[in-house]
Amino acid sequence: MIALPQPETLASHVRSYVNTAEHNDAVFNHFTARTWEHSILAAHRRHVDENKLGYGDPAFHDLWFLLLQAAAEKFPTPRCLEIGVFKGQVISLWALLARELNLPLEIHAITPLAGNPPPPLSLWSRIRYRLDRGYREQVKTGNFYANEDYEAIVRAHFAHHGLSFDAINLHRGYSTDPLLLESLATARFELVYVDGDHREAGARHDFATFGAKVVPGGWLVADDAAHDLPGSVFWKGYPEVTSALSELAPLGFVNVLNVGHNRVFQRIG
């Protein structure tokens, strides 16, 4: 039986964290339970689940709760960036917690708000899967998204919580877009969440490019990146994203906590 820290803060979880199967499973179960016990987190995640508005595990809601509070204690106005918004689960949670906990967050998002639909299943798509490595990686890393009106969906998601999507600093496009990168050349962030392209090259690009924009003492959270972690009660994400984590140590990042397949890195120095 693992004893988890009291009082619960990001710092107390980081201090007690050990990367063993028993501890990773206990942390995941504990964060899951805390999400469902917390009225704001539970209501937000229930809305996501009932309306199919996002991926990931309920445990991550409690991780954001602790991370945003830690960021607001450490930095006057934490600049928080999500790469890969989909239907707005994470940025709407950040905006909701900012309002409810009175946290002075500046929220940014890089996302195309557009689909990347898969070709229809056919004999050709099966042959292509065998012959075309790039296509195979897109399938294996879940990189296809149906064509939907993502902007309308995200706006409605925000409105459900009485929030305005217009308050978000939206950088519309892909994280590799040269014009978008130029516009963010001098940008710095206290917290970056990488959950966009899960192919290895895409994840490497995002870790290297946006990891370099994290201020000393700030955090980068990598989604779907726990393929090499011990533990049995959580889905571990993709080997491609996990391999790409090797971009982070040379930038001075240390892996301080893992909650399921969400890996928390802090930039030391």
Ligand X SMILES: C[S@@+](CC[C@H](N)C(=O)[O-])C[C@H]1O[C@@H](n2cnc3c(N)ncnc32)[C@H](O)[C@@H]1O
72 contributes a contact to ligand X by CB under 6 A: no
Q: How far is the CB of 78 from ligand X (least distance, A)?
A: 18
111 contributes a contact to ligand X by CB under 6 A: yes
Q: How far is the CB of 150 from ligand X (least distance, A)?
A: 7
Q: Judged by CB, which is closer to ligand X: 175, or 255?
A: 175
Q: Judged by CB, which is closer to ligand X: 104, or 117?
A: 117
Measured between alpha carbons, how far is residue 95 from residues 88, 165, 201 in Å? 10, 9, 30
Q: Judged by CB, which is closer to ligand X: 190, or 223?
A: 223
**Sole binder of ligand X in the list 27, 31, 41, 54 (CB under 6 A):** 54
Structure tokens at 85: 């918004």
Q: How far is CA 125 from the centre of its chain?
A: 30
Residue 150 amino acid letter: Y
DSSP structure class, residue 219:
E
Phi/psi at 252 (5° precision): 95, 20
84 contributes a contact to ligand X by CB under 6 A: yes
Q: How far is the CB of 109 from ligand X (least distance, A)?
A: 9
Q: How far is the CB of 82 from ligand X (least distance, A)?
A: 6
Q: How far apart are CA 164 and CA 82, in angstroms?
A: 17
Binding segment toward ligand X, per CB under 6 A, in 72-80, 107-115, 225-233, 235-243: 107-115
Binding segment toward ligand X, per CB under 6 A, in 11-19, 104-112, 228-236, 245-253: 104-112
Alpha helices in 102-223 (DSSP H): 123-131, 133-140, 150-160, 178-183, 200-211
Phi/psi at 36 (5° precision): -75, -20
Q: How far apart are CA 241 and CA 156, in angstroms?
A: 30
242 contributes a contact to ligand X by CB under 6 A: no
Q: How far is the CB of 164 from ligand X (least distance, A)?
A: 19
Structure tokens at 57: 């595990």
Closest-by-Cβ residue to ligand X is: 84
**Sole binder of ligand X in the list 57, 62, 197, 240 (CB under 6 A):** 197
Q: Are strands 253-259 and 262-267 parallel, antiparallel or unpaired?
A: antiparallel
Number of residues that bind ligand X (CB under 6 A): 20
184 contributes a contact to ligand X by CB under 6 A: no
* DSSP element (H, E) containing 14: helix 10-16
DSSP structure class, residue 161:
T
- The interface with ligand X within residues 118-147 (CB under 6 A) comprises 145
Q: How far is the CB of 205 from ligand X (least distance, A)?
A: 8
